[in-house]
Structure 1
Amino acid sequence: GRREKAGMSMGGNMARRLTTTSYTLLAQLSLRPWSTYELAGQRVRYFRYVWPRAESAIYREIKHLAADGLVCGRREHTGQRGRTVYTITDEGLAALREWLGTPVSPFAVEFEGMIRLFAAASGTNAQLGESLEQVRDDADEMLTFAGQVKLEYLEGRGAIQDQLYIRAHAIDFFVSLLNTVRDWSERTLSEVAEWDNRPIAERNERAMAILSEVAVQAALTSTAQTPVAPTSQTSRRR
Protein backbone atom coordinates (compact mmCIF):
# COMPACT_ATOMS: atom_id res chain seq x y z
CA GLY A 1 0.00 0.00 0.00
CA ARG A 2 0.93 3.64 -0.27
CA ARG A 3 3.20 4.96 2.44
CA GLU A 4 1.43 7.26 4.83
CA LYS A 5 3.00 10.12 6.72
CA ALA A 6 2.84 9.32 10.38
CA GLY A 7 2.89 11.01 13.75
CA MET A 8 2.67 9.54 17.22
CA SER A 9 -0.26 8.81 19.49
CA MET A 10 -0.05 7.64 23.09
CA GLY A 11 -2.77 5.02 23.37
CA GLY A 12 -2.73 2.68 26.34
CA ASN A 13 0.85 1.93 27.36
CA MET A 14 2.55 2.23 24.01
CA ALA A 15 2.81 4.71 21.17
CA ARG A 16 1.06 4.12 17.87
CA ARG A 17 2.00 5.92 14.70
CA LEU A 18 -0.81 8.01 13.26
CA THR A 19 -1.18 8.02 9.48
CA THR A 20 -2.73 10.44 7.03
CA THR A 21 -5.86 8.31 7.22
CA SER A 22 -5.89 8.96 10.98
CA TYR A 23 -5.68 12.70 10.42
CA THR A 24 -8.30 12.60 7.67
CA LEU A 25 -10.78 11.14 10.15
CA LEU A 26 -9.74 13.57 12.87
CA ALA A 27 -10.26 16.42 10.40
CA GLN A 28 -13.78 15.22 9.65
CA LEU A 29 -14.60 14.82 13.33
CA SER A 30 -13.27 18.30 14.08
CA LEU A 31 -16.19 19.63 12.00
CA ARG A 32 -18.98 17.72 13.75
CA PRO A 33 -19.74 14.30 15.25
CA TRP A 34 -20.20 11.47 12.75
CA SER A 35 -21.09 7.80 12.85
CA THR A 36 -18.74 5.38 11.13
CA TYR A 37 -21.36 4.92 8.41
CA GLU A 38 -21.44 8.68 7.83
CA LEU A 39 -17.65 8.86 7.80
CA ALA A 40 -17.56 6.12 5.18
CA GLY A 41 -20.08 8.12 3.16
CA GLN A 42 -17.87 11.20 3.37
CA ARG A 43 -14.99 9.07 2.10
CA VAL A 44 -17.03 8.11 -0.97
CA ARG A 45 -18.21 11.65 -1.55
CA TYR A 46 -14.97 13.54 -1.01
CA PHE A 47 -11.79 12.07 0.38
CA ARG A 48 -11.35 8.98 -1.77
CA TYR A 49 -10.46 11.19 -4.75
CA VAL A 50 -7.37 12.53 -3.00
CA TRP A 51 -6.79 9.77 -0.45
CA PRO A 52 -8.17 6.47 -1.79
CA ARG A 53 -8.62 3.94 0.97
CA ALA A 54 -10.93 0.96 1.40
CA GLU A 55 -14.06 1.48 3.48
CA SER A 56 -12.81 -1.20 5.86
CA ALA A 57 -9.80 1.02 6.64
CA ILE A 58 -12.17 3.73 7.90
CA TYR A 59 -13.92 1.36 10.31
CA ARG A 60 -10.62 -0.08 11.48
CA GLU A 61 -8.91 3.28 12.00
CA ILE A 62 -11.78 4.87 13.93
CA LYS A 63 -11.51 2.02 16.46
CA HIS A 64 -7.79 2.68 16.79
CA LEU A 65 -8.41 6.39 17.33
CA ALA A 66 -10.96 5.58 20.05
CA ALA A 67 -8.49 3.24 21.74
CA ASP A 68 -5.88 6.02 21.59
CA GLY A 69 -8.27 8.45 23.28
CA LEU A 70 -8.27 10.79 20.28
CA VAL A 71 -11.98 10.28 19.64
CA CYS A 72 -14.80 9.08 21.87
CA GLY A 73 -17.94 7.22 20.86
CA ARG A 74 -21.44 7.23 22.26
CA ARG A 75 -24.26 4.86 21.42
CA GLU A 76 -27.46 6.26 19.94
CA HIS A 77 -30.67 4.40 19.20
CA THR A 78 -33.38 5.11 16.66
CA GLY A 79 -36.11 2.59 17.33
CA GLN A 80 -34.39 -0.77 17.57
CA ARG A 81 -31.40 0.30 15.52
CA GLY A 82 -28.28 1.50 17.28
CA ARG A 83 -25.17 3.29 16.06
CA THR A 84 -22.00 4.73 17.54
CA VAL A 85 -21.41 8.43 16.96
CA TYR A 86 -17.84 9.64 17.35
CA THR A 87 -16.59 13.02 18.59
CA ILE A 88 -13.03 14.32 18.55
CA THR A 89 -11.45 14.75 22.00
CA ASP A 90 -9.18 17.56 23.17
CA GLU A 91 -6.24 15.21 22.66
CA GLY A 92 -7.41 14.41 19.15
CA LEU A 93 -7.77 18.09 18.28
CA ALA A 94 -4.28 18.77 19.65
CA ALA A 95 -2.85 15.95 17.51
CA LEU A 96 -4.63 17.31 14.43
CA ARG A 97 -3.35 20.84 15.04
CA GLU A 98 0.19 19.56 15.51
CA TRP A 99 -0.01 17.66 12.21
CA LEU A 100 -1.29 20.75 10.39
CA GLY A 101 1.95 22.48 11.33
CA THR A 102 4.15 19.86 9.64
CA PRO A 103 5.36 19.88 5.99
CA VAL A 104 2.79 18.56 3.50
CA SER A 105 3.54 15.52 1.35
CA PRO A 106 4.30 16.20 -2.33
CA PHE A 107 1.46 16.05 -4.83
CA ALA A 108 0.81 12.54 -6.15
CA VAL A 109 -1.72 11.03 -8.54
CA GLU A 110 -3.09 7.49 -8.54
CA PHE A 111 -4.32 7.10 -12.12
CA GLU A 112 -4.56 3.64 -13.70
CA GLY A 113 -5.37 5.16 -17.08
CA MET A 114 -1.82 6.51 -17.28
CA ILE A 115 -0.38 3.07 -16.51
CA ARG A 116 -2.50 1.71 -19.38
CA LEU A 117 -0.99 4.38 -21.64
CA PHE A 118 2.57 3.52 -20.61
CA ALA A 119 1.84 -0.15 -21.40
CA ALA A 120 0.06 0.60 -24.69
CA ALA A 121 2.83 -0.82 -26.90
CA SER A 122 2.14 -4.27 -25.43
CA GLY A 123 -1.56 -4.13 -26.28
CA THR A 124 -3.72 -2.99 -29.16
CA ASN A 125 -4.76 0.48 -30.19
CA ALA A 126 -8.37 -0.58 -29.66
CA GLN A 127 -7.64 -1.55 -26.06
CA LEU A 128 -6.02 1.81 -25.38
CA GLY A 129 -8.93 3.58 -27.04
CA GLU A 130 -11.42 1.76 -24.81
CA SER A 131 -9.42 2.70 -21.71
CA LEU A 132 -9.30 6.35 -22.75
CA GLU A 133 -13.03 6.38 -23.47
CA GLN A 134 -13.68 5.06 -19.96
CA VAL A 135 -11.40 7.75 -18.49
CA ARG A 136 -13.35 10.40 -20.41
CA ASP A 137 -16.73 8.98 -19.41
CA ASP A 138 -15.70 8.72 -15.75
CA ALA A 139 -14.57 12.35 -15.82
CA ASP A 140 -17.92 13.36 -17.34
CA GLU A 141 -19.79 11.55 -14.56
CA MET A 142 -17.66 13.22 -11.91
CA LEU A 143 -18.14 16.64 -13.49
CA THR A 144 -21.89 16.09 -13.33
CA PHE A 145 -21.56 15.17 -9.66
CA ALA A 146 -19.36 18.22 -9.02
CA GLY A 147 -22.03 20.40 -10.59
CA GLN A 148 -24.59 18.95 -8.18
CA VAL A 149 -22.31 19.63 -5.20
CA LYS A 150 -21.72 23.18 -6.45
CA LEU A 151 -25.48 23.79 -6.66
CA GLU A 152 -25.97 22.25 -3.22
CA TYR A 153 -23.64 24.82 -1.70
CA LEU A 154 -24.95 27.72 -3.80
CA GLU A 155 -28.43 26.95 -2.48
CA GLY A 156 -27.17 26.78 1.10
CA ARG A 157 -27.70 23.03 1.51
CA GLY A 158 -24.08 21.91 1.94
CA ALA A 159 -23.25 19.48 4.74
CA ILE A 160 -20.61 21.93 6.02
CA GLN A 161 -22.19 25.11 4.64
CA ASP A 162 -20.48 27.38 7.18
CA GLN A 163 -17.12 26.34 5.71
CA LEU A 164 -18.00 27.25 2.14
CA TYR A 165 -14.97 29.56 2.14
CA ILE A 166 -12.85 26.37 2.31
CA ARG A 167 -15.00 23.97 0.30
CA ALA A 168 -15.23 26.32 -2.69
CA HIS A 169 -11.47 26.01 -3.24
CA ALA A 170 -11.68 22.21 -2.99
CA ILE A 171 -14.46 22.13 -5.59
CA ASP A 172 -12.42 24.46 -7.81
CA PHE A 173 -9.47 22.05 -7.57
CA PHE A 174 -11.50 18.95 -8.38
CA VAL A 175 -13.31 20.56 -11.30
CA SER A 176 -10.05 21.94 -12.73
CA LEU A 177 -8.43 18.52 -12.43
CA LEU A 178 -11.41 16.71 -13.95
CA ASN A 179 -11.57 19.13 -16.87
CA THR A 180 -7.86 18.57 -17.45
CA VAL A 181 -8.32 14.79 -17.44
CA ARG A 182 -11.33 14.98 -19.73
CA ASP A 183 -9.66 17.31 -22.24
CA TRP A 184 -6.50 15.21 -22.22
CA SER A 185 -8.43 11.98 -22.84
CA GLU A 186 -10.24 13.55 -25.79
CA ARG A 187 -7.00 14.83 -27.34
CA THR A 188 -5.26 11.51 -26.83
CA LEU A 189 -8.22 9.57 -28.23
CA SER A 190 -8.10 11.61 -31.42
CA GLU A 191 -4.40 10.81 -31.82
CA VAL A 192 -4.77 7.09 -31.04
CA ALA A 193 -7.56 6.87 -33.63
CA GLU A 194 -4.93 7.64 -36.30
CA TRP A 195 -2.25 5.24 -35.12
CA ASP A 196 -3.43 2.31 -37.26
CA ASN A 197 -2.88 4.50 -40.32
CA ARG A 198 0.54 5.77 -39.27
CA PRO A 199 3.84 3.87 -39.02
CA ILE A 200 5.84 4.30 -35.82
CA ALA A 201 8.18 6.84 -37.41
CA GLU A 202 5.25 9.02 -38.43
CA ARG A 203 3.66 8.71 -34.99
CA ASN A 204 6.92 9.86 -33.39
CA GLU A 205 7.17 12.79 -35.79
CA ARG A 206 3.65 13.82 -34.80
CA ALA A 207 4.59 13.34 -31.13
CA MET A 208 7.46 15.83 -31.49
CA ALA A 209 4.97 18.44 -32.69
CA ILE A 210 2.66 17.68 -29.76
CA LEU A 211 5.52 17.83 -27.25
CA SER A 212 6.74 21.17 -28.56
CA GLU A 213 3.30 22.63 -27.75
CA VAL A 214 3.13 21.27 -24.19
CA ALA A 215 2.70 24.27 -21.89
CA VAL A 216 5.88 23.99 -19.83
CA GLN A 217 9.14 25.88 -20.22
CA ALA A 218 11.92 23.65 -21.52
CA ALA A 219 15.35 23.83 -19.92
CA LEU A 220 17.32 26.80 -21.21
CA THR A 221 20.43 24.74 -21.85
CA SER A 222 20.73 21.17 -23.06
CA THR A 223 22.79 18.60 -21.19
CA ALA A 224 23.57 14.97 -21.80
CA GLN A 225 22.46 14.06 -18.30
CA THR A 226 19.14 12.38 -17.56
CA PRO A 227 16.84 14.78 -15.65
CA VAL A 228 16.59 13.94 -11.97
CA ALA A 229 13.29 14.33 -10.13
CA PRO A 230 13.29 16.93 -7.32
CA THR A 231 14.20 15.50 -3.95
CA SER A 232 10.82 16.71 -2.67
CA GLN A 233 9.25 13.99 -4.84
CA THR A 234 11.55 11.17 -3.80
CA SER A 235 11.96 11.53 -0.04
CA ARG A 236 9.65 11.79 2.93
CA ARG A 237 9.52 15.16 4.64
CA ARG A 238 9.01 13.69 8.10
Structure 2
Amino acid sequence: MSNRRLTTTSYALLSQLSLRPWSTYELARQSARYFRYVWPRAESAIYREVKQLAQAGLVESRKEFVGRRARTVYSISKAGLAELREWFDTPPSPIAMEFEGMLRLFVAPVATTEQVRAALEQVRADNLQMIDFGGEVKQEYLDGRGALQDQVYVRALAIDFFVSLMNTVDAWVERTLGEIATWDHLSVTERNERALEILAQVPVDTPAAPTPATPVVPESQRRSPRYPRG
Protein backbone atom coordinates (compact mmCIF):
# COMPACT_ATOMS: atom_id res chain seq x y z
CA MET A 1 0.00 0.00 0.00
CA SER A 2 1.20 3.54 -0.79
CA ASN A 3 2.41 5.85 1.97
CA ARG A 4 0.51 8.73 0.38
CA ARG A 5 -1.22 10.83 3.02
CA LEU A 6 -4.99 10.62 2.76
CA THR A 7 -7.21 13.70 2.63
CA THR A 8 -10.75 14.19 3.85
CA THR A 9 -11.86 13.69 0.24
CA SER A 10 -10.14 10.28 0.37
CA TYR A 11 -12.22 9.34 3.39
CA ALA A 12 -15.40 10.71 1.82
CA LEU A 13 -14.94 8.35 -1.12
CA LEU A 14 -13.95 5.41 1.09
CA SER A 15 -17.12 6.09 3.08
CA GLN A 16 -19.22 5.87 -0.06
CA LEU A 17 -17.50 2.70 -1.20
CA SER A 18 -17.99 1.08 2.20
CA LEU A 19 -21.75 1.24 1.57
CA ARG A 20 -21.71 -0.54 -1.79
CA PRO A 21 -19.66 -0.78 -4.99
CA TRP A 22 -20.00 2.16 -7.39
CA SER A 23 -18.81 2.98 -10.88
CA THR A 24 -16.73 6.14 -11.22
CA TYR A 25 -19.69 7.93 -12.77
CA GLU A 26 -21.98 6.82 -9.93
CA LEU A 27 -19.45 7.98 -7.34
CA ALA A 28 -19.26 11.43 -8.93
CA ARG A 29 -23.06 11.62 -9.20
CA GLN A 30 -23.63 10.61 -5.58
CA SER A 31 -20.98 13.06 -4.41
CA ALA A 32 -22.67 15.83 -6.37
CA ARG A 33 -26.07 14.93 -4.93
CA TYR A 34 -25.21 14.52 -1.29
CA PHE A 35 -21.69 15.61 -0.41
CA ARG A 36 -21.73 18.94 -2.27
CA TYR A 37 -23.32 20.64 0.75
CA VAL A 38 -20.69 19.45 3.21
CA TRP A 39 -17.67 18.65 1.04
CA PRO A 40 -18.00 20.13 -2.47
CA ARG A 41 -15.41 18.88 -4.95
CA ALA A 42 -15.12 19.03 -8.73
CA GLU A 43 -16.06 15.89 -10.65
CA SER A 44 -12.51 15.69 -12.01
CA ALA A 45 -11.19 15.56 -8.43
CA ILE A 46 -13.43 12.57 -7.69
CA TYR A 47 -12.13 10.66 -10.74
CA ARG A 48 -8.53 11.46 -9.84
CA GLU A 49 -8.91 10.55 -6.16
CA VAL A 50 -10.54 7.16 -6.71
CA LYS A 51 -7.71 6.16 -9.05
CA GLN A 52 -5.17 7.17 -6.41
CA LEU A 53 -7.04 5.14 -3.79
CA ALA A 54 -6.86 2.13 -6.12
CA GLN A 55 -3.10 2.64 -6.56
CA ALA A 56 -2.77 2.76 -2.76
CA GLY A 57 -4.58 -0.56 -2.44
CA LEU A 58 -7.49 0.96 -0.50
CA VAL A 59 -10.09 0.21 -3.17
CA GLU A 60 -10.41 -2.56 -5.71
CA SER A 61 -11.67 -2.27 -9.27
CA ARG A 62 -13.26 -4.56 -11.80
CA LYS A 63 -14.55 -4.15 -15.33
CA GLU A 64 -18.24 -4.54 -16.08
CA PHE A 65 -20.14 -4.27 -19.33
CA VAL A 66 -23.43 -2.48 -19.81
CA GLY A 67 -24.36 -3.76 -23.22
CA ARG A 68 -21.17 -3.26 -25.23
CA ARG A 69 -19.98 -0.41 -23.07
CA ALA A 70 -17.31 -1.15 -20.44
CA ARG A 71 -17.18 0.62 -17.10
CA THR A 72 -14.97 0.38 -14.04
CA VAL A 73 -16.68 -0.47 -10.74
CA TYR A 74 -14.88 0.21 -7.47
CA SER A 75 -15.33 -1.37 -4.05
CA ILE A 76 -13.51 -0.84 -0.77
CA SER A 77 -10.69 -3.26 0.08
CA LYS A 78 -9.94 -4.75 3.50
CA ALA A 79 -7.09 -2.26 3.85
CA GLY A 80 -9.43 0.57 2.91
CA LEU A 81 -12.02 -0.52 5.45
CA ALA A 82 -9.35 -0.69 8.16
CA GLU A 83 -8.18 2.81 7.21
CA LEU A 84 -11.74 4.11 7.33
CA ARG A 85 -12.32 2.61 10.78
CA GLU A 86 -9.14 4.27 12.07
CA TRP A 87 -10.45 7.59 10.69
CA PHE A 88 -13.65 7.14 12.71
CA ASP A 89 -11.54 6.98 15.87
CA THR A 90 -10.26 10.52 15.27
CA PRO A 91 -12.17 13.73 16.14
CA PRO A 92 -13.82 15.44 13.16
CA SER A 93 -12.70 18.88 12.09
CA PRO A 94 -14.96 21.69 13.34
CA ILE A 95 -17.85 22.94 11.23
CA ALA A 96 -16.71 25.42 8.59
CA MET A 97 -18.77 27.45 6.15
CA GLU A 98 -18.05 29.13 2.82
CA PHE A 99 -20.77 31.75 2.34
CA GLU A 100 -19.93 34.49 -0.14
CA GLY A 101 -23.23 36.25 0.48
CA MET A 102 -22.27 36.72 4.13
CA LEU A 103 -18.82 37.97 3.10
CA ARG A 104 -20.51 40.63 0.97
CA LEU A 105 -22.78 41.58 3.84
CA PHE A 106 -19.75 42.09 6.09
CA VAL A 107 -18.41 44.71 3.65
CA ALA A 108 -21.81 46.28 2.94
CA PRO A 109 -20.56 49.78 3.93
CA VAL A 110 -18.53 49.96 0.70
CA ALA A 111 -21.46 48.82 -1.49
CA THR A 112 -24.78 50.34 -2.41
CA THR A 113 -27.95 49.18 -0.71
CA GLU A 114 -29.11 47.79 -4.04
CA GLN A 115 -25.93 45.73 -4.44
CA VAL A 116 -26.37 44.22 -0.99
CA ARG A 117 -30.03 43.51 -1.68
CA ALA A 118 -29.21 41.84 -5.00
CA ALA A 119 -26.61 39.60 -3.33
CA LEU A 120 -29.12 38.48 -0.70
CA GLU A 121 -31.82 37.89 -3.31
CA GLN A 122 -29.39 35.56 -5.08
CA VAL A 123 -28.68 33.77 -1.79
CA ARG A 124 -32.42 33.29 -1.33
CA ALA A 125 -32.94 31.98 -4.88
CA ASP A 126 -30.09 29.48 -4.56
CA ASN A 127 -31.27 28.42 -1.11
CA LEU A 128 -34.82 27.78 -2.33
CA GLN A 129 -33.43 25.47 -5.00
CA MET A 130 -31.63 23.51 -2.28
CA ILE A 131 -34.83 23.31 -0.22
CA ASP A 132 -36.66 21.95 -3.29
CA PHE A 133 -33.89 19.39 -3.74
CA GLY A 134 -34.29 18.33 -0.11
CA GLY A 135 -37.99 17.79 -0.74
CA GLU A 136 -37.25 15.63 -3.77
CA VAL A 137 -34.79 13.46 -1.83
CA LYS A 138 -37.28 13.15 1.03
CA GLN A 139 -39.97 11.93 -1.38
CA GLU A 140 -37.53 9.55 -3.04
CA TYR A 141 -36.98 7.77 0.25
CA LEU A 142 -40.65 7.90 1.26
CA ASP A 143 -41.42 6.16 -2.05
CA GLY A 144 -38.78 3.52 -1.39
CA ARG A 145 -36.64 4.64 -4.35
CA GLY A 146 -33.52 5.81 -2.50
CA ALA A 147 -30.14 4.64 -3.79
CA LEU A 148 -29.39 3.51 -0.22
CA GLN A 149 -32.94 2.80 0.89
CA ASP A 150 -31.76 0.22 3.43
CA GLN A 151 -29.93 3.03 5.24
CA VAL A 152 -32.79 5.49 5.40
CA TYR A 153 -32.35 5.55 9.19
CA VAL A 154 -29.13 7.52 8.57
CA ARG A 155 -30.27 9.48 5.51
CA ALA A 156 -33.33 10.81 7.34
CA LEU A 157 -31.11 12.45 9.97
CA ALA A 158 -28.96 14.10 7.30
CA ILE A 159 -32.00 15.34 5.35
CA ASP A 160 -33.45 16.75 8.58
CA PHE A 161 -30.20 18.68 9.17
CA PHE A 162 -29.95 20.08 5.66
CA VAL A 163 -33.57 21.14 5.39
CA SER A 164 -33.47 22.69 8.87
CA LEU A 165 -30.33 24.62 7.91
CA MET A 166 -31.78 25.80 4.60
CA ASN A 167 -35.02 26.88 6.29
CA THR A 168 -32.94 28.83 8.81
CA VAL A 169 -31.08 30.57 5.99
CA ASP A 170 -34.35 31.36 4.24
CA ALA A 171 -35.84 32.92 7.38
CA TRP A 172 -32.63 34.90 8.00
CA VAL A 173 -32.58 36.28 4.43
CA GLU A 174 -36.20 37.37 4.77
CA ARG A 175 -35.47 39.22 8.02
CA THR A 176 -32.29 40.75 6.66
CA LEU A 177 -33.89 42.01 3.47
CA GLY A 178 -36.58 43.63 5.58
CA GLU A 179 -33.94 45.36 7.68
CA ILE A 180 -31.92 46.52 4.68
CA ALA A 181 -35.06 48.05 3.22
CA THR A 182 -34.95 50.62 6.05
CA TRP A 183 -31.33 51.67 5.51
CA ASP A 184 -32.01 54.38 2.94
CA HIS A 185 -34.32 56.11 5.42
CA LEU A 186 -31.98 55.97 8.41
CA SER A 187 -28.73 57.67 9.31
CA VAL A 188 -25.72 55.53 10.26
CA THR A 189 -26.39 56.40 13.92
CA GLU A 190 -30.00 55.27 13.62
CA ARG A 191 -28.94 52.06 11.87
CA ASN A 192 -26.53 51.29 14.70
CA GLU A 193 -29.21 51.95 17.33
CA ARG A 194 -31.54 49.59 15.49
CA ALA A 195 -28.74 47.01 15.26
CA LEU A 196 -28.33 46.97 19.04
CA GLU A 197 -32.07 46.28 19.37
CA ILE A 198 -31.67 43.34 17.00
CA LEU A 199 -28.66 42.01 18.94
CA ALA A 200 -30.59 42.17 22.21
CA GLN A 201 -33.16 39.81 20.67
CA VAL A 202 -30.67 37.26 19.31
CA PRO A 203 -31.51 33.98 21.13
CA VAL A 204 -28.14 33.19 22.72
CA ASP A 205 -27.06 33.38 26.35
CA THR A 206 -24.52 36.04 27.27
CA PRO A 207 -21.94 35.93 30.11
CA ALA A 208 -23.23 36.79 33.58
CA ALA A 209 -20.50 39.43 33.86
CA PRO A 210 -18.86 41.54 31.15
CA THR A 211 -15.82 39.90 29.59
CA PRO A 212 -12.58 41.79 30.31
CA ALA A 213 -11.40 41.71 26.70
CA THR A 214 -12.48 40.87 23.18
CA PRO A 215 -13.81 37.27 23.21
CA VAL A 216 -11.37 34.68 21.94
CA VAL A 217 -12.46 32.44 19.09
CA PRO A 218 -13.42 28.97 20.46
CA GLU A 219 -10.65 26.39 20.52
CA SER A 220 -12.61 24.21 18.12
CA GLN A 221 -12.36 26.89 15.44
CA ARG A 222 -8.62 27.30 15.97
CA ARG A 223 -7.92 23.60 15.72
CA SER A 224 -6.21 22.67 12.48
CA PRO A 225 -7.89 19.95 10.39
CA ARG A 226 -6.40 16.54 11.17
CA TYR A 227 -6.33 15.67 7.50
CA PRO A 228 -5.56 17.85 4.46
CA ARG A 229 -8.72 19.17 2.88
CA GLY A 230 -7.89 17.66 -0.51
Note whether the superposition's TM-score is higher than 0.5. Answer: yes
Corresponding residue number in structure 2 for 1:231: 219
Corresponding residue number in structure 2 for 1:5: none
Normalised TM-score (structure 1): 0.92
> Aligned partners of 1:232 and 1:94: how far apart in 2?
27
State the shift of 1:192 in Å: 0.7
1:157 and 2:138 correspond = no
Corresponding residue number in structure 2 for 1:182: 170
State the shift of 1:85 in Å: 0.8
Unaligned runs of 5+ in 2: none
**Contact 2:32 2:40 (C-alpha < 8 Å) held by counterparts:** no
**Contact 2:14 2:80 (C-alpha < 8 Å) held by counterparts:** yes
Cα-Cα RMSD = 1.1
> Aligned partners of 1:179 and 1:66: how far apart in 2?
39
| Length, aligned pairs only | 226
> Aligned partners of 1:67 and 1:172: how far apart in 2?
37
Corresponding residue number in structure 2 for 1:4: none
1:147 and 2:135 correspond = yes
Residues 126-137 of structure 1: matches in 2 within 5 Å? Answer: 126-137=114-125
Name which of 191, 205, 213 aligns with 1:203.
191
1:113-162, Cα deviation, whole Å (9 max, x unpaired): 11111121111110110111111111111111111111111111111011
Secondary structure at the aligned position of 1:85 is classed as strand
1:57 and 2:49 correspond = no
State the shift of 1:91 in Å: 0.6
Over the matched positions of the two proteins, sequence identity in percent amounts to 63
Secondary structure at the aligned position of 1:17 is classed as coil
Secondary structure at the aligned position of 2:71 is classed as strand
> Aligned partners of 2:222 and 2:211: how far apart in 1?
22
Unaligned runs of 5+ in 1: 1-9
State the shift of 1:237 in Å: 6.2
> Aligned partners of 2:160 and 2:223: how far apart in 1?
29
Name which of 94, 107, 115 aligns with 1:106.
94
**Contact 1:103 1:237 (C-alpha < 8 Å) held by counterparts:** no
1:17 and 2:18 correspond = no
